[in-house]
Structure 1
């Protein structure tokens, strides 16, 4: 009986000293997606942009980190086709907007993560677009091997001011909203 207690006590001590290691899960870039919506006074445009790579870090089945790289050269409008799509895609990739010749990627790095509810986190991350860093905050829902979020980005914080009523007057119906919407679906 004394040996059993000694063994049990040894097991408790051993298990309490085991450290829980983080688990890194890479995203499947082919199955993960980013959809965007940009609005203006007279309507909106929507499209997609692809991930180059990314990962989420878990510890004790909770999100504790994440880092993602987006291929800005893959940006395309999906609400147009033909010549109009080519023109919009070209303008979005030009220096007026995202300047993809100089800034081919954008990055997002989780900086602060708080549990909001079971499998729901409030994340504050550094978003880098056109070499400029600004924080964004969003809710991230995790279920199994996937995660989703929707949030808005103020493009003017990244020196993207084209058509912004915040910087230019007399734009009338040519004004473009400062914020664009992102809907992100991660598969890992």
Structure 2
């Protein structure tokens, strides 16, 4: 029994030891969305304050855990009045629900650089499973002033229904219920300490 416990502990520590951590380069990344206004035109927005990370021990990233957090108060649609309305209880209620989060539960390779990422999205106090399409590029090794670094790119795209999360009232005459989520990130492999 002691040998079995020791084997399990050893395997777990080896898995943790080989896990690769990737941190987002915020200056080359974006967490955004698109909605349709009055069933006529698309309006884009993004969150200026966010964080993201990837942890994976497999080279094909099929075991990756992708986490994204964004500050709802940092919403930006290039219109201060609209941004204020979106932060209000009519939509995001940023005072009550200041962040939204996504944490992947599975990453499935479709083909080549294409993946399906399924995980839990928590928005406006509601957590629901969602699936996004993703494209992973890299990793590539680059020279930097601090030596060689490994980088990779991740693009995520998918559609959610905002009223499933209690954001805004139902009906799509003014703002579409379907919201396209678009995120793109450049990640650097964390250097061992």
TM-score by length of 1: 0.76
Distance 2:60 2:104 in 1: 14
Structure 1 residue runs without a partner (length 5+) = 1-17, 79-84, 167-173
RMSD: 1.9
Q: Tell me the equivalent position of 1:165.
A: 171
Distance 1:71 1:99 in 2: 12
Deviation at 1:160, TM superposition (A): 1.5
Deviation at 1:125, TM superposition (A): 1.1
Choose the corresponding residue for 1:52, options 37, 47, 50.
Answer: 50
Task: Indicate if the aligned counterparts of 2:92 and 2:168 stay in contact, CA closer than 8 A.
Answer: no
1:141 aligns with 2:135: yes
Task: After superposition, give the CA deviation of every residue in 1:47-90 in whole Å (9 maximum; x if it has no partner).
Answer: 21135221112222122211111111111113xxxxxx121111
Choose the corresponding residue for 2:102, options 95, 108, 129.
Answer: 108
Greater gyration radius: 1
Structure 2 residue runs without a partner (length 5+) = 1-13, 139-151, 188-193
Q: Tell me the equivalent position of 1:152.
A: 159
Instruction: For residue 177 of structure 1, give the secondary structure of its aligned residue in structure 2.
Output: coil
Choose the corresponding residue for 1:43, options 22, 41, 44.
Answer: 41
